[in-house]
Amino acid sequence: MVVFAVFVSLIWFGMNSDRDNLILTGHCTCKTSTSFQRSDCLSCLTAYDYHRDAHNLSLDKYHCNAFFPGLYEDIHRGVEYWTKRTGIASRDLNITPLKDGMARARIRNGELYIIAAHAKGEDHRRKIAATLSAMYRVLSATPNRSAIPNIEFILSVEDRVDDVNANGHPVWVYSRKATEESVWLIPDFGFWSWGHLSNDIEPYYTQDVDKVLAIESNVPFYEKEKKKNYFAPKLRHALLDAARSEKWGDVKEFNWSKKVNFLSMEDHCRYMFIAHVETSLKYRQACCSVIIAHKLQYIQHHHYLVKTERIATNNVKTFRERYLTPAAEACCWGELWDGWAEVSRGATGGDEVPGYKQGLKSESFLLLGSADMLRFSFLEGNHRGSV
């Protein structure tokens, strides 16, 4: 147990690398970390039923607030940040460079229009399409779409803010550091689909959850492998060194292309302990396992709910069955649109312009061929007249 305690300490405080890397598919330097403070009360939850409510994309604001307290902390932070700076104007969007992995779009009268999209390759294209599809799904499920505010926005599908030089700009992103206060967090593309069948990760997050449930129905927590598990690329050297030759550790580095030491996401859940070094946390939170992690350097939209004492069963109840459900994602998008509209009234020009001039409707954009989607600009006319 002493050895294991030392190992946990190494994981928690000591795993540094020589440079930053990707948040969703890589690792962090941990030169800085984030402590989360919430204004909402998690112990004051109203009558939420997982089987009834988890897939309800049409929850009203009252039920969203009641079922998912604490989910909107970063949205409220963004509203406060930009309110102090007199809000977001069209100029703020216009001076934001639209780099590869970014898209500009607007919502008008409950419809999603695409203005421009820049993708370097298929990975960018899929992630942009997935994020726009996730928004479209929520818009389509909203009973009163006319109540959705008219907004215009820019989003990035890159893992890091500095990959697109977005710090200081009002951009929607998957993750941020605590010091990157101008950006707004959104649910990542994986809530719609991953798009990499060869990785043995189900395209849709809830399908991965189904696989986990199938395994855990036959392997209760007390029968799980009593080892610390971590299989990932770009492995932390401190973690590998600490676990080498130890009976309590099953820590290996794998190669994506060769599938060396590969372990499917659901098979992670066969272990009682899982290490997390800022890669795909939501998939690990689907397991009824103890997650061991250092203080997080990067923030995603649901990280404000992370508490170190919430382990195993409580982790499942908090994340898998509540805050990582389609219903929670839908509520998050709705609150984001409202919060953004509150501070971006100066960036919603064009309300008087008819719909066919607003941009390419998302339904048509998502049917474009890959080549047309990679470098799309409605204003430059490369939509070929289709609306």
Q: What's residue 150's pLDDT?
A: 95
pLDDT at 367 over 60: yes
Q: What's residue 191's pLDDT?
A: 87
Q: What's residue 286's pLDDT?
A: 74
Whether residue 363 contacts residue 386, with contact meaning beta carbons closer than 8 Å, is answered with no
pLDDT at 168 over 80: yes
What are the angstrom distances between the C-alpha of 346 and each of 92, 199, 371, 375?
9, 43, 33, 27
What's this model's pTM, rounded to 2 decimal places?
0.76
pLDDT at 159 over 80: yes
| pLDDT tens column, 56-75 | 999 999 999 999 999 999 99
Between the two ends of the chain, the Cα-to-Cα distance in Å is 64
Q: What's residue 381's pLDDT?
A: 60
pLDDT at 115 over 90: yes
pLDDT at 235 over 50: no
**In whole angstroms, what is the distance from residue 250 CA to residue 234 CA?**
16
Q: When comparing pLDDT for 19 and 40, which is higher? A: 40
> Which candidate, 133, 51, 68, places its Cα nearest to that of 59?
68
Residue 340 host element (H or E): helix 326-343
Q: What's residue 6's pLDDT?
A: 38
Task: Give percent above pLDDT 70 in the chain.
Answer: 65
Q: When comparing pLDDT for 371 and 25, which is higher? A: 371
The mean-pLDDT minimum among 142-146, 153-157, 270-274 falls in 270-274
